[in-house]
Amino acid sequence: MKSRLKPSIYILLTIGITIGLMGCSTAERNEQAAPNKRTTTEADAKEAVETSSEQDALIHKFNTVVSTAKEASDIVSFLNENLNKAGQNHADQMVRELYAFYSKDLQTSQEAFFGENVQNVLTEMDWPITSANAASIQDEAVRQLVVTKLSGGYKLVWVEGTIYPIVDYSNQQKYSMYLSKPLNSYIALKAAESSEPAAMDAGLVIAWDELANRAIMAETFLNDYPDSPDYKEVEGIYLDSYLRMYIQGLANTPIFDSGTLKLVPEVKASYVKLSNENPNSVTGIMADRFLEILAKSDDVAMVRGPGGKQMLPEVDQFQKNYRRVAQKLLQEA
Protein backbone atom coordinates (compact mmCIF):
# COMPACT_ATOMS: atom_id res chain seq x y z
CA MET A 1 0.00 0.00 0.00
CA LYS A 2 2.76 2.37 0.97
CA SER A 3 4.84 1.59 -2.12
CA ARG A 4 1.82 2.21 -4.36
CA LEU A 5 1.38 5.70 -2.91
CA LYS A 6 4.94 6.90 -3.57
CA PRO A 7 4.53 7.54 -7.32
CA SER A 8 1.50 9.70 -6.58
CA ILE A 9 3.49 11.77 -4.11
CA TYR A 10 6.27 12.19 -6.64
CA ILE A 11 3.76 13.28 -9.29
CA LEU A 12 2.19 15.81 -6.97
CA LEU A 13 5.57 17.20 -6.02
CA THR A 14 6.58 17.45 -9.67
CA ILE A 15 3.36 19.25 -10.58
CA GLY A 16 3.78 21.63 -7.68
CA ILE A 17 7.35 22.46 -8.62
CA THR A 18 6.37 22.95 -12.25
CA ILE A 19 3.51 25.27 -11.35
CA GLY A 20 5.81 27.19 -9.05
CA LEU A 21 8.40 27.59 -11.78
CA MET A 22 5.68 28.66 -14.23
CA GLY A 23 4.45 31.22 -11.72
CA CYS A 24 7.95 32.59 -11.30
CA SER A 25 8.44 32.71 -15.03
CA THR A 26 5.12 34.56 -15.52
CA ALA A 27 5.97 37.02 -12.78
CA GLU A 28 9.37 37.64 -14.33
CA ARG A 29 7.76 38.24 -17.71
CA ASN A 30 5.24 40.61 -16.16
CA GLU A 31 8.01 42.51 -14.43
CA GLN A 32 9.91 42.73 -17.70
CA ALA A 33 6.77 43.85 -19.59
CA ALA A 34 5.76 46.47 -17.02
CA PRO A 35 8.64 48.85 -17.76
CA ASN A 36 7.87 48.56 -21.51
CA LYS A 37 4.22 49.37 -20.87
CA ARG A 38 5.17 52.32 -18.72
CA THR A 39 7.65 53.47 -21.34
CA THR A 40 4.96 53.32 -24.06
CA THR A 41 2.47 55.26 -21.95
CA GLU A 42 5.05 57.86 -21.07
CA ALA A 43 6.05 58.16 -24.72
CA ASP A 44 2.44 58.66 -25.78
CA ALA A 45 1.93 61.31 -23.13
CA LYS A 46 5.13 63.07 -24.14
CA GLU A 47 4.10 62.99 -27.80
CA ALA A 48 0.67 64.40 -26.92
CA VAL A 49 2.26 67.24 -24.96
CA GLU A 50 4.66 67.98 -27.81
CA THR A 51 1.80 67.94 -30.35
CA SER A 52 -0.28 70.25 -28.18
CA SER A 53 2.66 72.59 -27.73
CA GLU A 54 3.32 72.66 -31.49
CA GLN A 55 -0.35 73.37 -32.22
CA ASP A 56 -0.42 76.20 -29.67
CA ALA A 57 2.65 77.69 -31.29
CA LEU A 58 1.00 77.33 -34.70
CA ILE A 59 -2.14 79.12 -33.49
CA HIS A 60 -0.02 81.92 -32.03
CA LYS A 61 1.75 82.32 -35.37
CA PHE A 62 -1.57 82.20 -37.21
CA ASN A 63 -3.05 84.92 -35.00
CA THR A 64 -0.08 87.12 -35.86
CA VAL A 65 -0.72 86.52 -39.57
CA VAL A 66 -4.42 87.39 -39.16
CA SER A 67 -3.72 90.56 -37.16
CA THR A 68 -1.28 91.85 -39.79
CA ALA A 69 -3.03 90.55 -42.93
CA LYS A 70 -3.82 93.19 -45.53
CA GLU A 71 -5.34 90.66 -47.96
CA ALA A 72 -7.22 87.38 -47.55
CA SER A 73 -4.44 85.78 -49.61
CA ASP A 74 -2.08 86.20 -46.62
CA ILE A 75 -4.35 84.00 -44.51
CA VAL A 76 -5.17 81.51 -47.27
CA SER A 77 -1.47 80.98 -47.97
CA PHE A 78 -0.85 80.17 -44.29
CA LEU A 79 -3.78 77.76 -44.17
CA ASN A 80 -2.63 75.94 -47.30
CA GLU A 81 0.77 75.32 -45.73
CA ASN A 82 -0.19 74.63 -42.12
CA LEU A 83 -3.79 73.50 -41.65
CA ASN A 84 -2.79 69.82 -41.77
CA LYS A 85 -0.77 70.34 -38.58
CA ALA A 86 -3.42 72.18 -36.60
CA GLY A 87 -5.72 69.45 -35.26
CA GLN A 88 -9.48 69.54 -35.88
CA ASN A 89 -10.49 72.09 -33.21
CA HIS A 90 -7.74 74.50 -34.16
CA ALA A 91 -8.40 73.94 -37.87
CA ASP A 92 -12.05 74.91 -37.39
CA GLN A 93 -10.96 78.00 -35.48
CA MET A 94 -8.52 79.01 -38.20
CA VAL A 95 -11.04 78.68 -41.03
CA ARG A 96 -13.58 80.69 -39.01
CA GLU A 97 -10.96 83.42 -38.62
CA LEU A 98 -10.69 83.48 -42.40
CA TYR A 99 -14.46 83.96 -42.62
CA ALA A 100 -14.26 86.77 -40.07
CA PHE A 101 -11.68 88.46 -42.29
CA TYR A 102 -13.96 88.04 -45.32
CA SER A 103 -16.87 89.66 -43.47
CA LYS A 104 -14.75 92.78 -42.84
CA ASP A 105 -12.96 92.81 -46.20
CA LEU A 106 -15.68 91.90 -48.71
CA GLN A 107 -17.20 95.36 -49.11
CA THR A 108 -13.78 96.99 -49.48
CA SER A 109 -12.75 94.38 -52.05
CA GLN A 110 -15.94 94.90 -54.03
CA GLU A 111 -15.56 98.68 -53.98
CA ALA A 112 -12.06 98.31 -55.44
CA PHE A 113 -13.65 96.90 -58.61
CA PHE A 114 -15.45 100.18 -59.19
CA GLY A 115 -12.16 102.04 -59.38
CA GLU A 116 -10.95 103.82 -62.49
CA ASN A 117 -10.92 101.66 -65.63
CA VAL A 118 -11.45 98.35 -63.78
CA GLN A 119 -14.90 97.58 -65.21
CA ASN A 120 -13.87 98.67 -68.71
CA VAL A 121 -10.88 96.31 -68.70
CA LEU A 122 -12.73 93.34 -67.20
CA THR A 123 -15.79 93.52 -69.43
CA GLU A 124 -13.47 93.13 -72.42
CA MET A 125 -12.09 89.88 -71.01
CA ASP A 126 -13.23 86.37 -71.92
CA TRP A 127 -15.64 85.09 -69.28
CA PRO A 128 -15.25 83.64 -66.68
CA ILE A 129 -12.19 85.42 -65.35
CA THR A 130 -10.14 82.91 -63.37
CA SER A 131 -6.54 82.43 -62.27
CA ALA A 132 -5.91 80.79 -65.64
CA ASN A 133 -6.59 83.91 -67.71
CA ALA A 134 -6.12 86.72 -65.15
CA ALA A 135 -2.41 86.84 -65.91
CA SER A 136 -3.22 87.98 -69.45
CA ILE A 137 -4.82 91.24 -68.28
CA GLN A 138 -2.77 94.00 -69.89
CA ASP A 139 -3.49 96.74 -67.36
CA GLU A 140 -0.98 96.10 -64.55
CA ALA A 141 -3.04 97.65 -61.75
CA VAL A 142 -6.19 95.74 -62.75
CA ARG A 143 -4.23 92.53 -63.20
CA GLN A 144 -2.70 92.84 -59.72
CA LEU A 145 -6.11 93.55 -58.19
CA VAL A 146 -7.73 90.51 -59.82
CA VAL A 147 -4.85 88.10 -59.11
CA THR A 148 -4.69 89.18 -55.46
CA LYS A 149 -8.41 88.70 -54.89
CA LEU A 150 -8.53 85.34 -56.66
CA SER A 151 -5.58 84.00 -54.66
CA GLY A 152 -7.39 85.12 -51.51
CA GLY A 153 -10.33 82.80 -52.13
CA TYR A 154 -12.63 85.21 -53.94
CA LYS A 155 -14.25 84.59 -57.32
CA LEU A 156 -15.57 87.11 -59.81
CA VAL A 157 -19.26 87.26 -60.75
CA TRP A 158 -20.98 89.28 -63.45
CA VAL A 159 -24.35 90.59 -62.31
CA GLU A 160 -26.46 93.18 -64.16
CA GLY A 161 -23.48 94.26 -66.25
CA THR A 162 -21.13 94.67 -63.29
CA ILE A 163 -18.16 92.48 -62.30
CA TYR A 164 -17.18 92.15 -58.65
CA PRO A 165 -15.80 89.54 -56.20
CA ILE A 166 -17.67 87.23 -53.82
CA VAL A 167 -16.29 84.61 -51.44
CA ASP A 168 -15.75 81.29 -53.23
CA TYR A 169 -16.60 78.80 -50.47
CA SER A 170 -15.73 75.84 -52.68
CA ASN A 171 -12.09 76.77 -52.04
CA GLN A 172 -12.38 75.63 -48.43
CA GLN A 173 -13.70 72.21 -49.42
CA LYS A 174 -10.09 71.17 -50.01
CA TYR A 175 -9.66 71.40 -46.22
CA SER A 176 -12.51 68.94 -45.51
CA MET A 177 -10.27 66.20 -44.08
CA TYR A 178 -9.04 68.57 -41.37
CA LEU A 179 -12.39 70.06 -40.32
CA SER A 180 -15.35 68.95 -38.19
CA LYS A 181 -18.56 67.61 -39.73
CA PRO A 182 -20.65 70.68 -38.80
CA LEU A 183 -18.18 73.06 -40.41
CA ASN A 184 -17.86 70.86 -43.51
CA SER A 185 -21.65 70.81 -43.84
CA TYR A 186 -21.76 74.59 -43.51
CA ILE A 187 -19.09 75.00 -46.16
CA ALA A 188 -20.92 72.61 -48.51
CA LEU A 189 -24.09 74.68 -48.14
CA LYS A 190 -22.28 77.95 -48.80
CA ALA A 191 -20.25 76.44 -51.66
CA ALA A 192 -23.41 75.35 -53.48
CA GLU A 193 -24.58 78.97 -53.46
CA SER A 194 -21.27 80.58 -54.36
CA SER A 195 -20.72 78.09 -57.19
CA GLU A 196 -24.22 78.51 -58.60
CA PRO A 197 -26.40 81.21 -57.02
CA ALA A 198 -30.04 80.23 -56.68
CA ALA A 199 -31.27 83.59 -57.91
CA MET A 200 -29.97 86.60 -59.83
CA ASP A 201 -31.68 89.74 -61.09
CA ALA A 202 -34.82 88.88 -59.06
CA GLY A 203 -35.20 85.62 -60.95
CA LEU A 204 -34.55 81.96 -60.18
CA VAL A 205 -31.56 80.61 -62.11
CA ILE A 206 -31.67 77.02 -60.89
CA ALA A 207 -34.42 74.43 -61.33
CA TRP A 208 -37.26 74.29 -58.80
CA ASP A 209 -36.17 70.80 -57.75
CA GLU A 210 -32.66 72.10 -57.10
CA LEU A 211 -34.12 74.91 -54.99
CA ALA A 212 -36.01 72.27 -53.01
CA ASN A 213 -32.76 70.31 -52.56
CA ARG A 214 -30.99 73.43 -51.26
CA ALA A 215 -33.83 74.00 -48.79
CA ILE A 216 -33.59 70.40 -47.57
CA MET A 217 -29.81 70.76 -47.29
CA ALA A 218 -30.17 73.82 -45.07
CA GLU A 219 -32.96 72.22 -43.02
CA THR A 220 -30.84 69.09 -42.46
CA PHE A 221 -28.02 71.25 -41.13
CA LEU A 222 -30.42 72.91 -38.66
CA ASN A 223 -31.66 69.52 -37.46
CA ASP A 224 -28.23 67.94 -37.19
CA TYR A 225 -26.26 70.81 -35.65
CA PRO A 226 -28.52 72.92 -33.40
CA ASP A 227 -25.50 74.02 -31.33
CA SER A 228 -23.42 75.16 -34.30
CA PRO A 229 -22.24 78.77 -34.22
CA ASP A 230 -23.52 78.93 -37.80
CA TYR A 231 -27.08 77.95 -36.83
CA LYS A 232 -28.61 81.44 -36.98
CA GLU A 233 -27.04 82.22 -40.33
CA VAL A 234 -28.22 78.93 -41.86
CA GLU A 235 -31.68 79.44 -40.36
CA GLY A 236 -31.82 82.78 -42.17
CA ILE A 237 -30.67 81.17 -45.42
CA TYR A 238 -33.33 78.49 -45.06
CA LEU A 239 -36.31 80.62 -44.00
CA ASP A 240 -35.59 83.93 -45.73
CA SER A 241 -34.01 82.71 -48.94
CA TYR A 242 -34.66 79.14 -50.06
CA LEU A 243 -38.05 78.48 -48.43
CA ARG A 244 -39.30 82.00 -49.17
CA MET A 245 -38.48 81.64 -52.87
CA TYR A 246 -39.99 78.16 -52.93
CA ILE A 247 -43.29 79.26 -51.37
CA GLN A 248 -43.61 82.82 -52.72
CA GLY A 249 -41.65 82.73 -55.97
CA LEU A 250 -39.65 85.72 -57.25
CA ALA A 251 -40.56 88.89 -59.11
CA ASN A 252 -39.13 87.55 -62.36
CA THR A 253 -39.96 83.90 -61.63
CA PRO A 254 -43.50 83.79 -60.23
CA ILE A 255 -45.06 80.53 -59.06
CA PHE A 256 -48.49 81.45 -60.47
CA ASP A 257 -49.19 81.77 -64.19
CA SER A 258 -50.30 85.31 -65.04
CA GLY A 259 -52.72 84.00 -67.67
CA THR A 260 -54.41 81.05 -65.97
CA LEU A 261 -53.82 82.39 -62.43
CA LYS A 262 -52.92 78.81 -61.50
CA LEU A 263 -49.86 77.29 -59.88
CA VAL A 264 -47.19 76.81 -62.54
CA PRO A 265 -47.11 73.07 -63.47
CA GLU A 266 -43.33 72.83 -62.96
CA VAL A 267 -43.67 74.26 -59.46
CA LYS A 268 -46.55 71.91 -58.62
CA ALA A 269 -44.53 68.92 -59.85
CA SER A 270 -41.68 69.97 -57.58
CA TYR A 271 -44.02 70.34 -54.58
CA VAL A 272 -45.48 66.88 -55.20
CA LYS A 273 -42.06 65.28 -55.61
CA LEU A 274 -40.69 66.94 -52.50
CA SER A 275 -43.68 66.06 -50.29
CA ASN A 276 -43.50 62.44 -51.47
CA GLU A 277 -39.74 62.05 -51.03
CA ASN A 278 -39.38 64.07 -47.81
CA PRO A 279 -42.79 63.84 -46.12
CA ASN A 280 -41.42 64.39 -42.60
CA SER A 281 -39.25 67.39 -43.45
CA VAL A 282 -40.44 70.91 -42.66
CA THR A 283 -39.99 71.82 -46.33
CA GLY A 284 -42.03 68.79 -47.40
CA ILE A 285 -44.79 69.55 -44.89
CA MET A 286 -45.00 73.16 -46.07
CA ALA A 287 -45.23 72.09 -49.71
CA ASP A 288 -47.91 69.52 -48.89
CA ARG A 289 -50.00 72.04 -46.94
CA PHE A 290 -49.76 74.52 -49.79
CA LEU A 291 -50.92 71.87 -52.25
CA GLU A 292 -53.92 71.09 -50.01
CA ILE A 293 -54.92 74.75 -49.92
CA LEU A 294 -54.57 75.16 -53.70
CA ALA A 295 -56.44 71.89 -54.37
CA LYS A 296 -59.61 73.53 -53.01
CA SER A 297 -59.57 76.01 -55.90
CA ASP A 298 -58.20 73.64 -58.57
CA ASP A 299 -54.75 75.27 -58.18
CA VAL A 300 -56.15 78.74 -58.91
CA ALA A 301 -54.46 81.28 -56.63
CA MET A 302 -55.95 84.60 -57.76
CA VAL A 303 -59.15 86.15 -59.01
CA ARG A 304 -59.63 89.11 -61.32
CA GLY A 305 -61.62 92.03 -60.03
CA PRO A 306 -62.22 95.74 -60.61
CA GLY A 307 -58.96 96.53 -58.85
CA GLY A 308 -56.99 93.94 -60.82
CA LYS A 309 -55.78 90.54 -59.69
CA GLN A 310 -56.24 89.63 -56.06
CA MET A 311 -54.83 86.65 -54.19
CA LEU A 312 -57.34 84.25 -52.67
CA PRO A 313 -57.42 84.92 -48.89
CA GLU A 314 -56.32 81.42 -47.86
CA VAL A 315 -53.41 81.44 -50.33
CA ASP A 316 -52.41 84.94 -49.30
CA GLN A 317 -52.47 84.02 -45.62
CA PHE A 318 -50.35 80.91 -46.15
CA GLN A 319 -47.68 82.82 -48.08
CA LYS A 320 -47.56 85.64 -45.54
CA ASN A 321 -47.34 83.32 -42.54
CA TYR A 322 -44.99 80.72 -44.03
CA ARG A 323 -41.96 81.83 -41.97
CA ARG A 324 -43.66 81.71 -38.58
CA VAL A 325 -45.21 78.32 -39.34
CA ALA A 326 -41.94 76.84 -40.66
CA GLN A 327 -39.94 78.14 -37.71
CA LYS A 328 -42.43 76.55 -35.30
CA LEU A 329 -42.14 73.24 -37.14
CA LEU A 330 -38.35 73.45 -36.92
CA GLN A 331 -38.53 73.92 -33.17
CA GLU A 332 -40.85 70.94 -32.83
CA ALA A 333 -38.66 68.66 -34.95
Confidence of residue 32 (pLDDT cuts 50, 70, 90): low
| Cα R_g (the chain), whole angstroms | 33
Tell me the residue ranges of DSSP E strands in the chain. 154-159, 162-167, 199-200, 203-204, 302-305, 308-311
- For residues 153 and 280, membership in a common domain is answered with no
Q: Which amino acid is at 246?
A: Y
Assess whether 235 and 292 both reside in one domain.
yes
Give the predicted TM-score (pTM) of the model.
0.83
| Domain match, 153 and 231 both | no
The total of other beta-carbon atoms located within 10 Å of residue 188's CB is 16
Q: Is the pLDDT of residue 29 over 80?
A: no
Q: Does 35 reside within a domain?
A: no
Same domain assignment for residues 204 and 300:
yes
Q: Are residues 152 and 242 in the same domain?
A: no
- 147, 178, 209 — which closes off a domain? 178
CA distance 299 to 120: 48
Q: Are residues 203 and 326 in the same domain?
A: yes
Query: Are the C-beta atoms of 38 and 68 separated by less than 8 Å?
Result: no
Task: Confirm whether 260 is domain-assigned.
Answer: yes
The answer to whether residue 111 sits within a structural domain is yes
- Single out the residue in 143, 178, 213 at which a domain terminates: 178
Does the residue 40 lie in any domain? no
Domain tally, the chain:
2
Q: What is the mean pLDDT of residues 157-184?
A: 96
Residue 36 pLDDT class (50, 70, 90 cuts): low
**Within a domain: 58:** no
More confident residue, 32 or 79: 79
**Residue 7 forms part of a structural domain:** no
300 & 221 share domain: yes
Q: Are residues 87 and 123 in the same domain?
A: yes
Residue range 202-215, pLDDT digits in tens: 999 999 999 999 99
**Domain region containing 88:** 69-178
- Are 159 and 203 within one domain? no
Q: Assess whether 207 and 147 both reside in one domain.
A: no
**Confidence band, pLDDT 50/70/90 cuts, at residue 14:** very low
Question: Is 117 a domain residue?
Answer: yes
Identify whether 50 is part of a domain: no
